[in-house]
Amino acid sequence: MKKILVTRKLLQSNEDRLKTLYDIRLNSNDELYSQKKLIELSKDCDGILSALTDKLDADTIDKLPKSVKILSNFAVGFGNIDLEAANKRNIAVTNTPEVLTDATAEIGILLILGACRRAAEGIKSAQASDWKWSADYLIGKQLTGTRLGILGMGRIGKKISKIAKSLGMVIHYHNRSKLSPEKEDGAIYHKKLASLLSVSDVLSVCCPASKETVNIINKETLEYLPKGAVVTNVARGDIVDDEALIDALDRRKVYAVGLDVYKGEPILNPGYLKHKSAFILPHLGSATKETRTAMANLAIDNLEEFFKTGKCKNKVN
């Protein structure tokens, strides 16, 4: 029987399934393993069911036991894994695409609504019982007729586009390539990022994290936005330069932000705390029972397919 290290605690149904298939080492306390401990625990293991919180850099991968043949990442992203190092060791890396699209898109829309309608301020006032209605109390931005710029029109971007369109928003997008008219569904393509930003009353960051997209939203690119734009991020924290975005908030170049991800999670840049207009969530994108169950099941499916065939349709390296 193959031996699998599971680095983070999964939902009970997923762990029960794993027990029927493999000799597994579970993380019952759901502790965040150090790289040293992860290497130690992977001794004699054939595979690792890893999480986005595991830092599997080149040094860590180089020190993994020779028995490890696959890293099945419990996430659609795989920025935590050095793919080049895994390739050199002939270790397969897989991810869990598609199953978290709907849940993450819902959070993307929540970020847009929360930032535009000043939800963070409203929640605090309601909890403090110190608000008083007036015609101009907590006036926010209405979505109807507002231009939504989507950076990265993949599965999640397209789902956000569909929901936002039903709310009356006008959709623009920037992608590595133009989509077919059917997939665009009326969205307007911008070949250049600067062009997209210049028409984005609201920006939704949905692109994958990569070397090319690190800090792609920065001091220079933020200047292309219309004054008073809203910036939201449902992708990865590395895509946005926090200091530049906070500076844009300070200068009121940016009206509000909605973030589900940010650099240094869970430690939030204190600059955001100065702004009532910052609507920030603790990385809830895929956090529904249905989605987390499906993600883990797909990570298990990836292990099964790999061990049976030596290949996997969700292999990313």
Q: Give the CA dihedral 86, 92, 96, 97, nearest 10 degrees.
A: 90
Which residue of the set 283, 292, 304, 305 is catalytic? Answer: 283
Residues 239, 217: Cα–Cα separation, whole Å: 6
The token pair that represents 37 in the structure block: 């401990």
Is residue 84 among the annotated active site residues? no
Cis peptide before 266 (omega within 30 of 0): yes
Residue 211 has pLDDT above 90, yes or no: no
Residues 21, 49: Cα–Cα separation, whole Å: 13
Residue 209 has pLDDT above 90, yes or no: no
Which residue of the set 223, 265, 275, 304 is catalytic? Answer: 265
Domain boundaries, the chain: 3-98+288-309, 101-280
What phi, psi does 134 have (nearest 5°)? -155, 165
By mean pLDDT, which of 1-5, 29-33, 77-81, 88-92 is the weakest?
A: 77-81
Q: Are 3-98+288-309 and 101-280 equal in CATH topology?
A: yes
Q: Which CATH architecture fits 101-280?
A: 3-Layer(aba) Sandwich (3.40)
The predicted structure's pLDDT at residue 152: 98
Is residue 118 among the annotated active site residues? no
- Work out the percent of the chain whose per-residue pLDDT is above 70: 100
Which residue of the set 25, 172, 236, 292 is catalytic? Answer: 236
Is residue 174 among the annotated active site residues? no
State the residue for tokens 């992860």.
38
Q: Class for domain 3-98+288-309, per CATH? A: alpha beta
Burial call 184-210: b when 16+ CB within 10 Å, e when fewer: beebeebeebebbbbbbbbbbbbbbbe
Q: How many CB atoms lie within 10 A of CB 261?
A: 24
Q: In what order do the strands lie in the sheet with 188-189?
A: 188-189, 170-174, 147-151, 202-205, 229-233, 254-259, 278-280
